[in-house]
């Protein structure tokens, strides 16, 4: 029967082995290494080894434990907890907000997958702990990855230049098309409107002359 495993009180040491799977020498060396690392950087890395999370999902148990323990300095949230569960054969790294840019989720997953889990499956808990701790400290020391630089591509540059010229040519073609439409309209008005206007003026003049003649005839009578 799977039972719930309560979250223990905050650990008193940098490495806590409740499963009793690592050697005394490894525990002593890792303890000294993590203590020296905190003195040098103020970043606190803690290792906690247990058997199982019981019926609680791994992520839920480790997140709750990390929040309860508050590893790292107050105000900096610069703590890391490496959890190993020997019976479950599960491992998880919880990182405080102050170190998330340095020890990213991708880096943590890589350390778990490539360094810790193979050693656990091979029955080498000492190697799992020492290798995992070394990888975590190395990632923190290396600092956040530099921003990616935009890559220069010859083909991309040629494509950009061609696109510029195509847009310029398109603009010129549109200009001349508009000019042609305007010129055609002007020619149409000249051919059609001018004769019509001339005809209209002629009608007006003829009508005016007829009116004058009628007025003269009326006066004679």
Q: In the structure, what pLDDT confidence band is assigned to residue 142 with cuts at 50, 70 and 90?
A: confident
Structure pTM? 0.65
Q: In the structure, what pLDDT confidence band is assigned to residue 145 with cuts at 50, 70 and 90?
A: low
| Measured distance CA(181)–CA(158) in Å, rounded | 35
| HEC secondary structure over 133-151 | HHHHHHHHHHCCCCCCCCC
Q: What are phi and psi of 73, to 5 degrees?
A: -85, 145
Q: Examine the pLDDT at 2 and tell me if it is beyond 80.
A: no
The SS3 of residue 101 is coil
Task: Report how far apart, in Å, the C-alpha atoms of 140 and of each of 43, 79, 102, 202 are.
Answer: 9, 11, 6, 98
Position 74 scores a pLDDT of 87
Position 4 scores a pLDDT of 81
Dump pLDDT digits (tens) for 162-213: 777 677 777 767 766 766 666 676 676 567 666 666 666 665 655 556 656 6
Mean pLDDT, to the nearest integer, of 3-16? 92
Pick the CATH number of 15-142 from 3.40.50.20, 3.40.1160.10, 3.30.365.10, 3.10.310.50: 3.10.310.50
Position 143 scores a pLDDT of 76
Count CB neighbours of 45 within 10 A.
29
């Amino acid at each position: 029967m799977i039972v719930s495993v309560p979250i223990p009180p905050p650990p008193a040491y940098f490495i806590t082995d409740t499963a009793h799977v690592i050697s005394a020498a490894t525990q002593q060396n890792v303890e000294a290494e993590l203590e020296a690392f905190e003195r040098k950087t103020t970043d606190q890395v803690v290792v906690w080894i247990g058997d199982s999370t019981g019926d609680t999902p791994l992520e839920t148990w480790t997140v709750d434990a990390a929040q309860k323990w508050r590893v790292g300095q107050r105000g900096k949230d610069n703590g890391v907890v490496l959890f190993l569960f020997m019976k479950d054969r599960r491992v998880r790294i919880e990182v405080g907000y102050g170190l998330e840019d340095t020890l990213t989720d991708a880096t943590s997953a890589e350390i778990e997958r490539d360094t810790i889990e193979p050693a656990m499956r091979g029955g080498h808990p000492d190697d799992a702990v020492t290798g995992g701790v070394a990888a975590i400290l190395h990632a923190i020391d290396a600092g956040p990855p530099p921003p990616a630089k935009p890559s220069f591509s010859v083909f991309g540059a040629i494509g950009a230049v061609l696109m510029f010229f195509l847009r310029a040519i398109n603009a010129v073609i549109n200009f001349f098309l508009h000019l042609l439409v305007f010129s055609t309209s002007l020619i149409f008005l000249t051919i059609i409107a001018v004769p019509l206007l001339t005809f209209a003026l002629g009608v007006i003049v003829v009508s005016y002359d007829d009116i004058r003649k009628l007025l003269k005839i009326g006066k004679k009578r």
